[in-house]
Structure 1
């Protein structure tokens, strides 16, 4: 009995001792804000440098807001070459936002510069281009610390000031914060809200300052939404124009980006320092209707993508592109040429350029093939609407071959009209009959010569000899020579011996790659002396649906290593849907 009583007394004493210690610690914490000696006392107890810290938090701080989208995300291999990104700040688009951060995630990043517009027209002191904060953020995935060293350095230079109270109200910042902590668990943040009334050039200077303060393990993220309060189709076209600017970013054209913060992209430009050294890769382009489904008459649009260090030049080659007859009908029915490319746009845009065979002239003439019976004379006389040239540029088809059997369907004036429209849209071309057969394009320091061979114009032997001479000449001026050939019988699934012999002559003469068109079907590739010959890529955009062979086309992605100039290839399968659209198979 006495033993049990003694044991009970000992338990009570232990409880009182533990309770007393807990009470002391609790009291110390409660007085943390009021007594510096208490902070020292806590340091002595815990052996840590604990200090007072105020936290900001996103309104979207419930982990249940994220679980549904995170479960759908694929595993991604970290890309150490990503240096900047662009993403929406509408939580409505949380799937798009999550996919973006998953795509660029990197556990080795230690600093993230997050750039947002000022949505509330706050007051900025004279000469101040942005406000920032050194407060930490409480998120469902842990505490996101500020990079106080960089924040204080910026605030000490006069053009950036701290404003902790306003920072917590800016949705361009607080929407991103939980995602940043989730996908960059070891990073600290430098949030910047821009004074959008300040001089444009000041923001490029700010970007350069950030770059100088940043270590090698840093990323800049622009938090920006694009088109606002306009119909979805109009937003789509404006977004494509903005995406083209991102692919060719300069300080001047950044002003033309149709978003809520063009000046954010001036900061991005200054941060990259030389935008030509980076590729912009589009992840997605959506709008609020895609998530709400309310109305397509007034939407906000979203662009997500990232900039990575350029290691190669990437070109996509496609086959025959025809925009008359049925394709014209479907484009008009859906109120835009862009409808035809709608399902393959991300594939097209994520190349440095796309090269296609333009199977006819661009004019303001009325179509004479639309509505005609297959096989009738006028059924094969093509003209494409004058709006097509700008569509080609938006879709990243920036070089076209004019060396084919339909380019003179509307005679020489049709050819001249085509060149005028292409020039006006910024689309390059080569192979026009009786004119320059080649074009040389420099990308990433690599000079690539494109040469046209057209079996269907003039004397065939003279044309072949002229191409061989052209190959020798362009070889001296370029790193690579690519011959784009319009040749061979239609609908034949194998190449003729005559065509094979000619292709071998082109390779022997110095060509590095041959791309063929005209048969309207895919003809198997041949490798000759280590060089590839794609005899025909088939149709790319065409209203031929009578056979599966003409409905299947091929695209060839060619990656040119910037250092070695070696070529890597990827083959893509296209399929022509009966409603006019081309899709990836």
Structure 2
């Protein structure tokens, strides 16, 4: 962390300790092996032909050859880009509707050691409030924490706090997509907020969430944002400014998704900003210029509660299944991520085996 941010957190820690709250630790260590490995995935879309292909197969089949990489993590946080229910009515006048059968989809998430999912997106209510409730109830039964949607706006905004590998991770889930899904005082829905520009309302909202004792006491604070348009490689400058503001306010990792393609990584003041993580699994038509069937599973290497590196496991989606990208595809992903991250002055290094990439986090 840069000195200014470390000083701000130290001041916050003093205030919290006087209130009897646990405080986060700040480590000067740089051990690349880390004490915990926290996975971050972009969109996990288990509906439509993904559902058709895997509903009568073993739950782990959807993860294909990515399952070993998922299994080596202590837990993963993902954007669940569908509802998990066999009930409900279609939301009117939408083009795409995504839902998966609970009999296979819930065990599939459990098999992949998914610890938490964000439902703050434009598909959580594709089949209305009934399917949203089913999704929330099913995840809860499986011990998977949901954030970003709920029975009312208060519930939708409530941060999730999960233990991943002995690291306490607080997750804030927000979206600027599909405002009609937004939860109200007595209406189920998603946590909708303006995530670009300088919205005073959003900044007051986020500051309030970050000041909650459970969030302030966490080792890591992750802002999981479903933001901006699909099919783009670059976030708008206003979103970059908002991401940096989040870090200035105490967020440790920005976990972006929505574009369906991975975007560049910026390391700002000792915090990785993943502008978009692409998709881990889906059934979307492949756009040749974007190769949206190619992405990464991101791994946060955590030491003493601080992210010291981000590892990128290359992914190729084939036949509605996640696979480890190899050969020419892995090299293409390496070159694409290097080019996109270079815009932020970020160094992306190749590890010696398996096409895995590494982004060191200076200042951690």
TM-score range, shorter chain: 0.5 to 0.7
1:536 and 2:299 equivalent?
Answer: no
2:295 corresponds, among 528, 553, 556, to 553
Partners of 1:565 and 1:498 in 2: CA distance: 27
Match of residue 565 from structure 1? 306
CA deviation after TM superposition for structure 1 residue 581, in Å: 1.2
Gaps of 5+ in 1: 1-309, 370-375
Deviations 1:393-435 (A, max 9, x none): 1121121111111111122222111111111112111111521
**Residues 393, 477 of structure 1: CA spacing in aligned structure 2 closer, same or farther, 3 A cutoff?**
same
The answer as to whether partners of 1:367 and 1:383 remain within 8 angstroms in 2 is: no
1:362–1:329 Cα change, 3 Å: same
Closer/same/farther in 2, CA of residues 449 and 498 from structure 1, 3 Å limit = same
Q: CA deviation at 1:499?
A: 0.8
Higher helix proportion (structure 1 or 2):
1
* 1:501 equivalent in alignment to 2:218: no
Name the counterpart of 2:204: 465
Residue 330 (structure 2) aligns with: none
Gapped runs of 5+ residues in structure 2?
A: 1-32, 183-191, 326-364
SS at match of 1:537: coil
**What residue number does 1:323 align with?**
46
Please give the alpha-carbon distance, in whole angstroms, between the structure 2 residues aligned to 1:536 and 1:319.
Answer: 7
CA distance, structure 2, for counterparts of residue 512 and residue 459 of structure 1: 20
What is aligned with 2:171? 450
Mapping of residues 57-96 of structure 1, within 5 Å? none
CA displacement 1:507-532 (0-9 Å, x = unmatched): 11111110100111111111222221
Shift of 1:325: 1.4
Instruction: State whether residues 367 and 382 of structure 1, in contact with CA within 8 Å, keep that contact through their aligned partners in structure 2.
Output: no
The alpha-carbon distance between structure 1 residues 566 and 520, as it changes in their structure 2 partners (threshold 3 A), is closer
**Correspondence for 2:71:** 349
Following superposition of structure 1 onto structure 2, how do residues 121-132 of structure 1 map, counting pairs within 5 Å?
A: none
Instruction: Indicate the residue corresponding to 1:511 in structure 2.
Output: 251
**Which structure 2 residues correspond to residues 152-167 of structure 1 after superposition, within 5 A?**
none
Q: SS state of the match for residue 380, structure 1?
A: coil
Q: How does 1:110-129 map to 2 (within 5 A)?
A: none
Higher RCO structure, 1 or 2 (CA under 8 Å, sep 6+): 2
* Alpha-carbon distance, 1:446 to partner: 2.9
How does 1:255-404 map onto structure 2 within 5 Å?
A: 312-332=35-55, 335-365=57-87, 379-387=95-103, 388-404=105-121
TM-score normalised by structure 2 residue count: 0.68
CA distances 1:261-312 after superposition (whole Å, capped 9, x unpaired): xxxxxxxxxxxxxxxxxxxxxxxxxxxxxxxxxxxxxxxxxxxxxxxxx961
SS of structure 1 residue aligned to 2:275: strand
Distance 2:142 2:225 in 1: 24
**Secondary structure in structure 1 of the residue aligned to 2:264:** strand
CA distance 1:465–1:572, shift in 2 (3 Å):
farther
| Matches for 1:175-324 after TM superposition, within 5 Å | 312-324=35-47
| Distance change in 2, residues 1:459/1:429 (3 Å) | closer
1-side partners of 2:299 and 2:78: how far apart? 12
Give the aligned length.
Answer: 267
Structure 1 equivalent of residue 162 of structure 2 = 441
Give the deviation of 1:475 after TM superposition: 4.7
Using the alignment, how far apart are the partners of 2:206 and 2:148 within structure 1? Answer: 11
The answer (yes or no) to whether the contact 2:174–2:193 under 8 Å persists in 1 is: no
Query: TM-score under structure 1 normalisation?
Result: 0.43
One of 144, 147, 150 as aligned partner of 1:427: 144
Correspondences of 1:482-497 after superposition (within 5 Å): 482-497=222-237
Larger radius of gyration: 1
